[in-house]
Structure 1
Amino acid sequence: MSRWRSNRHRPGPLLVLLAVLLTACPDGTGSPPRGREPETTTSPAVDAPSPGDPIRFGFLGEPATLDPYDETASDLTRYIARAIYPSLFTLVPDGTPEPLLAADMEVDGSRATVQLLRSASWSDGSPLTARDVVASWRRARGTVTPSGFRDISSARAVDPATVAFRGEVNDWEATLARAAYILPSERDARTTAGPFRIARRTPGLEVVLEPDPLWFGRPKAKETIRVRFIRTTGTMLALLERGELDAAAFPSMVNAAERVQAAGLQADSALGWETIRLSFGTGLSRLQRAGVAEALDLGVMKETLIRSDGRRATTLHPAPDRASGPYRSVSGGTPPEVEISVTAPAGDELLTQLLRAVYAQLDATDVAVEAAPIDPFIFYGEWLRADPSDVSIRRASGAPGLGIPPDDPAGLDHFPLFQVRTYVVWRPEVEGPRSNPTLDGPLWNARDWTSTGGS
């Protein structure tokens, strides 16, 4: 027997597929709320920020940690990390690496020697040194984080401002820009070295980032950013319309551009490295995972849900310049003979609609499936440590060089379904936001943002 679990809607297993796809899914979750959410039923009066007020920026869900090398680190973690931690290089929206902490680099085949900016310091005033870089490389090597540091076999501090790396690396700048954050080697978690520092964190609600006057880069950040954690896309859009959010990382969804325009908001989007994918748990074999993937009609999902906001992924490592070419050896799968659980984050409108589609299509092939939308604070939080579901539908960012090895689905831990547009949305009173579909995320240029306060 197949089952759909939700607080407010329980479709039967024989629903017609298009009816399933075109039905709006509920915002309810299977868990009680965590943290506080602004009400969404008050009057539509706009509360525009005054000059000097923080810019309120919304994310869907809440990261379990702000440490990008923790086992529960997510894309949300990395997006915030970009604002508070440096890296030797950074990625602009088209994936081009640019120097940040690196003053100079000499490359000789498998060796690279990097000179650090001698003006770099931590938010407590102590110098940022090669020792911090080496300690960060060690931490990244010991995790499963998508950091470029993991591609480097050795690192050593030559002197306080010089680091020597070794590794079989094709592009050193891109590798050192790919989520290779520099964290303090011996300081507490509040010590940072980005354009912003952490002023306050309220679990379940927000983290407040204020400009760091000791930041070594240019330009200096101008505005304090209140990063708000939002539970649903509906809530996010309502808060933007009412002026209770000033900008947001707006998830792609059906008719996203039209809905943003109708709300009087501005937006920037890019089709690049963001994907929607199936992530498989350890309970399914490789053949069973392939069987699940083969049972899905991605063409129907693309035409009814993704539409012009994306395209089908045609490689296991999607990228802007890898838009064609077949999957390799993802065939001959065996449908699971036991009931499997499929989950997606509640509140993400597109992913919960895709959850319905996956449920209906698997059920039509006689795969026993239990589907359930999960509280996004849990889905993007503690479930990153131990996801109990057999299949989860997730968004994932990427970057140049991430997954460059040949498509080898032997493990098939992740199966990309679609490449989708990455949006950043803002009210007219805010200037500067620009979408970045790489791992650097929407706060990549937050130091350039300004607010006119509605004037």
Structure 2
Amino acid sequence: MTMRLTRRTFLATSAAAGSLTFLGPRSLHAATNGTLRFGLSAYPPSFDAWASSGTAAGTVKLLIHRGLMSFAPDGSLRGELAESWEVDDQGAWVFKLRDATWQDGSPVTAEDIAWNVAEASKPDSTAFLRGQLQTITKVETPDDTTVRMITEEPSAVLPGWFAHYNMPMIKKGEAVDTTMGAGPFKLDATDRGVSLTFSAFDGYYKKGLPKLAGVKATVYADENLRVAALQAGDIDLIEYVPWQAMEQIEQNDQLKLDAVDGPFMYLTFNGKRAPFDDPKVRRAVAHAIKREDIVAAAFYGRGGTLAHLPIADGSAFYNPDLADGWAYDPDKAKQLLAEAGHPDGFDCTMLSTAQYGMHQSTAEVCQAYLSMVGINVKLDLPEWSTRVQKGNQGDYDLAVMGTTAANNDPDGLSDIIDGSLPASFVRSYGLETPEISGYLKKGRTTFDEQKRKEIYAEMEKVAIETTPIVGLCWRSQGYGMKPNVTGFTNMPGQLTFYSGVTLEETALG
């Protein structure tokens, strides 16, 4: 299905196109009518509701759209378009819809939800969760407010799929408008590459929300300009506070920093290209890199090393005996390379991006350490949208990536390590993971938590051996804001990238 802007949005964009000059920070100095001025790190590569295009695009989705479910500021799962959800006696998930409307005033119905599932799970869909949704064999709509999802096998984690910001609900129809949703704000105008303007949706289903009259999101791709705009008072709230500026913002009594640990940096591989189709080579890469230097160089010490799968030490599924599975060991890296038939190393290209300093710095540290074991790396550093495209197409040998899991459950790692899912820039390209996929499937069909712990421990052992990704480090993720910004929450752990959902509660004091 082709996602596109409608004529309405195109005309709004065209009207703004009379002046395509970048709106520098000083042009946005005055805040009026309760409009929040938000500093985005990137312009959305597309308005495809279900595709994964990065955190900035996710924040835009969370302004416009809502899904069946979402996460509360404390990280707990909550209903959105669904007011209740439960497993029935036959093992199907049943969602009861609340009274909600699309931004054109028409009601949200069970048929809309069923259509979303059907469209997003089609073989040619670009949906990030297409693989997971294909396990839903049938969606029944006994009435306008009831949705019953039947799966191949019982699923303990299905509601979490529908909380993902890449699985919002959009209105059923032949002429689909992916910029019109059921969320708290309407997209009024776009100036491509520069800004997006939103106004409050007065038909939003949560009484008294949103608290803001609107949001003006301006793109500051340069992280230093983004901080400067906040310091100058031209922006109220910014995402992706660069790590070198966090202390500066903390010490400024005219600003405040909200930072959490949760995102992580890692490497992906092109599993269709030699030599990275060999697990010994991938594991050699894992043992060749000293992670402390990434934390210091890219994140100014605001993070921690990650030498196994990204399962945090505070998680009930954390296994301390596996935490150093990919520990720095250059001698072991050289031994694995020799066993794989590359005693003298080889040349390759590493994809990253220059748009985010931490991505480039991470790539440079990896490049330096890989050279010490004979792997000569050439860096490819395009801007973010091209990096996403190259990642989706497998146009790389190995690549630097940074993200979070879909949620705080180990099943949330599926998006990153399950090779049975459709191609995505967030996971290794063309790399099959049959054992890992099997354990993930077993884990999501098991409701007993102790049994799930045992299943995921076995999965982690296999992952360390076969190395579908290389964990590098945890990182702090920060939002900077003026003191009069209230109600915005940087959500905990792996959910930090969902923080845009709290913009419905945000106000300007």
Conserved 8 A contact 1:82-1:440 = no
3-state SS of 1:216 partner: coil
Conserved 8 A contact 1:116-1:161 = yes
User: CA 1:310/1:39 → structure 2, altered by over 3 Å: closer, same or farther?
Assistant: same
The alpha carbon displacement at 1:237 in A equals: 0.9
User: CA 1:220/1:53 → structure 2, altered by over 3 Å: closer, same or farther?
Assistant: closer
Conserved 8 A contact 2:49-2:178 = no
User: CA 1:383/1:36 → structure 2, altered by over 3 Å: closer, same or farther?
Assistant: farther
Conserved 8 A contact 2:229-2:235 = yes
Rounded to whole Å, the distance in 1 between the matches of 2:74 and 2:136 is 24
The alpha carbon displacement at 1:152 in A equals: 4.1
The alpha carbon displacement at 1:36 in A equals: 5.5
The alpha carbon displacement at 1:90 in A equals: 0.7
Rounded to whole Å, the distance in 2 between the matches of 1:323 and 1:260 is 33
Aligned counterpart for 1:176 among listed residues 159, 162, 182: 162
Aligned counterpart for 1:159 among listed residues 118, 124, 143: 143
The alpha carbon displacement at 1:347 in A equals: 3.4
User: CA 1:367/1:50 → structure 2, altered by over 3 Å: closer, same or farther?
Assistant: closer
Rounded to whole Å, the distance in 1 between the matches of 2:182 and 2:76 is 22
3-state SS of 1:170 partner: coil
Aligned residue for 1:368? 376
| Residue 138 (1) aligns with residue 122 (2) | no
Rounded to whole Å, the distance in 1 between the matches of 2:96 and 2:383 is 45
The alpha carbon displacement at 1:56 in A equals: 1.6
Aligned residue for 2:427? none
Aligned residue for 2:483? 428
Aligned residue for 1:224? 214
In structure 1, give the amino acid aligned to 2:399: S
Conserved 8 A contact 1:91-1:440 = no
Residue by residue over 1:118-172, the C-alpha shift from the partner in whole angstroms, topping out at 9 and shown as x without a partner, is x211111111111111122223334561477466443222222110012332245
The alpha carbon displacement at 1:360 in A equals: 0.9
User: CA 1:328/1:301 → structure 2, altered by over 3 Å: closer, same or farther?
Assistant: closer
Rounded to whole Å, the distance in 2 between the matches of 1:146 and 1:172 is 11
Conserved 8 A contact 1:246-1:427 = yes
Rounded to whole Å, the distance in 2 between the matches of 1:275 and 1:139 is 31
Alignment of 1:11-410 (within 5 A): 37-39=22-24, 48-52=29-33, 54-70=35-51, 73-108=53-88, 110-117=91-98, 119-142=99-122, 143=126, 145-146=128-129, 149=133, 152-167=136-151, 168-179=154-165, 180-186=167-173, 187-221=176-210, 222-251=212-241, 253=243, 255-263=244-252, 264-272=254-262, 274-281=263-270, 282-283=272-273, 284-287=276-279, 288-306=281-299, 308-319=301-312, 320-321=314-315, 324-325=319-320, 326=322, 332=336, 334=340, 337-380=345-388, 382-398=389-405, 399-401=407-409, 402-403=412-413, 405=440, 406-407=459-460, 408-409=462-463
Conserved 8 A contact 1:66-1:73 = no
Conserved 8 A contact 2:260-2:496 = no
State the TM-score, normalized to the length of structure 1: 0.80
User: CA 1:346/1:430 → structure 2, altered by over 3 Å: closer, same or farther?
Assistant: same
Rounded to whole Å, the distance in 2 between the matches of 1:414 and 1:251 is 26
Residue by residue over 1:224-265, the C-alpha shift from the partner in whole angstroms, topping out at 9 and shown as x without a partner, is 112222212112111111122211112452x44312224542
In structure 1, give the amino acid aligned to 2:474: Q
User: CA 1:188/1:48 → structure 2, altered by over 3 Å: closer, same or farther?
Assistant: closer
The alpha carbon displacement at 1:413 in A equals: 4.5
Residue by residue over 1:207-226, the C-alpha shift from the partner in whole angstroms, topping out at 9 and shown as x without a partner, is 22211111112332123112
User: CA 1:372/1:235 → structure 2, altered by over 3 Å: closer, same or farther?
Assistant: farther
Rounded to whole Å, the distance in 1 between the matches of 2:127 and 2:28 is 42
In structure 1, give the amino acid aligned to 2:237: A
Conserved 8 A contact 2:266-2:469 = yes
Residue by residue over 1:189-211, the C-alpha shift from the partner in whole angstroms, topping out at 9 and shown as x without a partner, is 33211011111122111222211
Report the count of equivalent residues: 409
In structure 1, give the amino acid aligned to 2:221: R
Residue by residue over 1:66-117, the C-alpha shift from the partner in whole angstroms, topping out at 9 and shown as x without a partner, is 22323x6333332321221111211124431011111222323631111101
In structure 2, give the amino acid aligned to 1:318: I
3-state SS of 1:270 partner: strand
Rounded to whole Å, the distance in 1 between the matches of 2:147 and 2:53 is 26
In structure 1, give the amino acid aligned to 2:42: G
| Residue 444 (1) aligns with residue 436 (2) | no
Rounded to whole Å, the distance in 2 between the matches of 1:64 and 1:385 is 13
Unaligned runs of 5+ in 2: 1-19, 327-332, 415-439, 441-458
3-state SS of 2:113 partner: helix
User: CA 1:150/1:252 → structure 2, altered by over 3 Å: closer, same or farther?
Assistant: farther
Conserved 8 A contact 2:241-2:480 = no
Residue by residue over 1:385-437, the C-alpha shift from the partner in whole angstroms, topping out at 9 and shown as x without a partner, is 42522222222122133126323438744333222222111122422221125
Rounded to whole Å, the distance in 1 between the matches of 2:134 and 2:291 is 33
User: Mean alpha-carbon deviation: is it higher for 217-226 or for 170-179?
Assistant: 170-179
Higher helix share: 2
In structure 2, give the amino acid aligned to 1:446: L
User: Mean alpha-carbon deviation: is it higher for 98-107 or for 430-439?
Assistant: 430-439
Rounded to whole Å, the distance in 1 between the matches of 2:189 and 2:28 is 23
User: Mean alpha-carbon deviation: is it higher for 189-198 or for 284-293?
Assistant: 284-293
Conserved 8 A contact 2:69-2:77 = yes
Rounded to whole Å, the distance in 1 between the matches of 2:365 and 2:120 is 37
Root mean square deviation, CA, Å = 3.0
